[in-house]
A and B are shown apart, each in its own frame.
Chain A
Amino acid sequence: MTQPLLSVRNLSTRFRTDRGLVRAVDDVSFDVAPGETLAIVGESGSGKSVTALSILRLIPDPPGKIESGEILFEGKDLLKLDDAGIRAIRGDRIAMIFQEPMSSLNPALTVGLQVGEPINLHRKTVWSKALDKAAELLGKVRIPDGKSRLNSYPHQYSGGMRQRVMIAMALACQPKLIIADEPTTALDVTVQAQILALLKELTREANSAMILITHDLGVVARYADRVAVMYGGRIVETAPARPLYKSPRHPYTRGLMASVPRLDGDTGRPLVPIEGQPPDLASLPAGCAFALRCKDATERCHRERPPLVESARHHFSACWYHERLAA
């Protein structure tokens, strides 16, 4: 692999809550290569969104806090930058697309101002030029008649259109990395595919890397180069998308796949839900976090936490029995 664009090393993010310290992200490491799309998959509460927010240091503090780790972006540790330093990265080198297009655009400000703002700020472009660029960006995300729409407000747009505006805003400064936190969860299914296709096309065009946070394995299959599966604040399996699909090496990933309907191949296969509840991050067990829900868990699984090891080339799994799963 070439020099990674982003290298997250041993990241731990905690939240102080009434119920004690919650380890939302616990010792997570992963790399993103330039131009690559990495999908981070997991249930709600698996730590995937907190991981995304930690990269740009957007965790509300208090109650949250990045406790340890390194986030190396183009060789610089983002956790060591001062406030002005991280602000210069945000929206310029690394852009973010949030889950809720309905509430992530400011209802009181025009679309033109919101899309032009990063250009004006990071490129030191005068407002009239920034607005021209904003109109151009709206065209790129297939919002017709961008120029005349600059003065409109978010409530005049549909959900899909707003997410297009968010994409335009993210692309404004041609970032090297786009972090999309469940970008289509709030949208109609028909619109979801359009938005993802557009996002993929535009990131490829700009040669931007992308971290795609999702709970939808169907999305992952189509758009990701590599996948990291998170469970209980940790990465339990990571591999290039194809081998992960063909032979998952963690029982949780297998469970996820068995619980997703597939329209290709084996359509007669019954859906198998994963029994039990996601783990309580405030009181994780000493052993494997998935052991309580795992059919094949042994005494060792409950006692010792399995490390993430390379089970096959580029394919890592945090299961004591990853080799048995591969067979």
Chain B
Amino acid sequence: MAKFIGRRLLYLLPVLLAVTLLTFLIASLLPGDLAITLLGDQATPEKVEALRAQMGLDLPIWQRYLLWLWDVLHGDLGRSFRTGETVLAAVADRLPVSLELMVMAEVTALLIAIPLAILCAVKSGSATDRFLTGLAFGKLSLPPFMVAILLIYLFAVSLNLLPATGWIPFAEDPIANLRSFVLPALTLAIAEWPVLMRVLRSDMIATLQEDYIAMAKAKGLRPARILLVHALKPSSLTLVTVTGINIGRLIGGALIVEVIFALPGIGRLLVGAIYARDFIILQGAVLFVAVGFVMVNFVVDMLYAVLDPRIRHGRA
């Protein structure tokens, strides 16, 4: 098991190198110049040249990348040329917002998807099953921004139950903080439950045909125990995979939802950095997101081994 974990962690390195290098290359292809942006209408060719040299922008791209990498390896992610804020501070400000949103959204999506999937699998082919799978399919064609607007209209405008926008730090007022996350998390959860439900439903239907389910019945177990103990665990590999992908994606922020609900998350940090040509912030934030993504996938791999012991022993 320790060997398995060690090898997984080694995969992290090439992935991170590739991701940061690609971001560097793509960012350098963007039109526009940070020096010109910073100097504004004060820009003369001499001043621009001087600032570029000061920021190291006159060096060839591979040198810039290696310099950046060297600094990162020494624990220095750099600071924004524009605001002077360090990358670490910028990410540390935004990451908790994105993480809280992600956790609430995923938990809500799973709480909706798992019971419905079990219900559909047990009654597969029935009117209930057809209605719910139809609903899930219909939901897939409804974009999140529409859902967000409908939710705001319903819960914030008509019923006046929840705030439509804004964000209050948890330390300041935990209740208000949670309230400000309800609608954005619900928006994301509504976007995700149909996929989760469909994969779990089809895996569960296959599992319920297995001989060991007949065996569990022959032992006199209650239907609830058969479903939750004997069927759910071997049916949840795809569910875990899809949830992992969703979580990985949400670590990078949910841009549209963050914009609509005015949440200061990673998504808005990244897009702001791109617009401002603030490459150091962009590069640092991407590094964090990539690490997060790889870590989540690592956890998903670990979960496979927990859910299906054959994987654990096959690789050990």
Measuring CB to CB, which residues of chain A are less than 8 angstroms from any residue of chain B?
56, 58, 87-92, 95-96, 98, 100, 103-109, 117-118, 121-122, 153, 155-156, 166, 169
Contacts and interface: CB of A to CB of B under 8 A. Distances in A.
Interface of B: 210-212, 214-222, 229-230, 233-234, 307-310, 313
A105 B219 CA distance: 12
B240 to A, nearest CB: 13
A121 B230 CA distance: 14
Contacts of A87: 220-222
Contacts of A107: 212, 234, 308-310
Nearest to B223: A83
A90 B214 CA distance: 12
A170 to B, nearest CB: 9
Contact of A89 (B212, B220, B222, B230): B220
B310 A153 contact: yes
A98 B219 contact: no
A121 B308 contact: no
B234 A90 contact: no
Given A121-B221, A155-B309, A106 B214 contact: no
B214 A98 contact: yes
Contact of B233 (A89, A100, A108, A166): A108
A160 to B, nearest CB: 17
A96 B218 CA distance: 6
B265 to A, nearest CB: 36
- 6 closest A-B pairs (Cβ-Cβ)? A90-B220, A91-B219, A91-B220, A96-B218, A153-B309, A103-B211
Nearest to A87: B220
Contact of A96 (B215, B222, B229): B215
B220 A106 contact: no
A52 B216 CA distance: 16
B219 A121 contact: yes
B220 A155 contact: no
A118 B218 CA distance: 10
Nearest to A106: B212
B220 A58 contact: no
A51 B216 CA distance: 19
Contact of A104 (B211, B234, B307): B211
A109 B217 contact: no
Contact of B219 (A103, A117, A153, A155): A117
B309 A58 contact: no
A96 B233 CA distance: 24
Nearest to B235: A108
A58 B310 contact: no
Given A108-B234, A108-B307, A109-B230, A90 B210 contact: no
A261 to B, nearest CB: 30
A118 B216 contact: no
Contacts of A169: 219
A90 B219 contact: yes
A117 B221 CA distance: 9
A249 B32 CA distance: 98
Could you say which of A106, A108, A166 has the most chain B C-beta atoms within 10 Å of its C-beta?
A: A108
Could you say which of B212, B216, B230, B234 has the most chain A C-beta atoms within 10 Å of its C-beta?
A: B212
B216 to A, nearest CB: 7
A96 B212 CA distance: 12
A50 B313 CA distance: 37
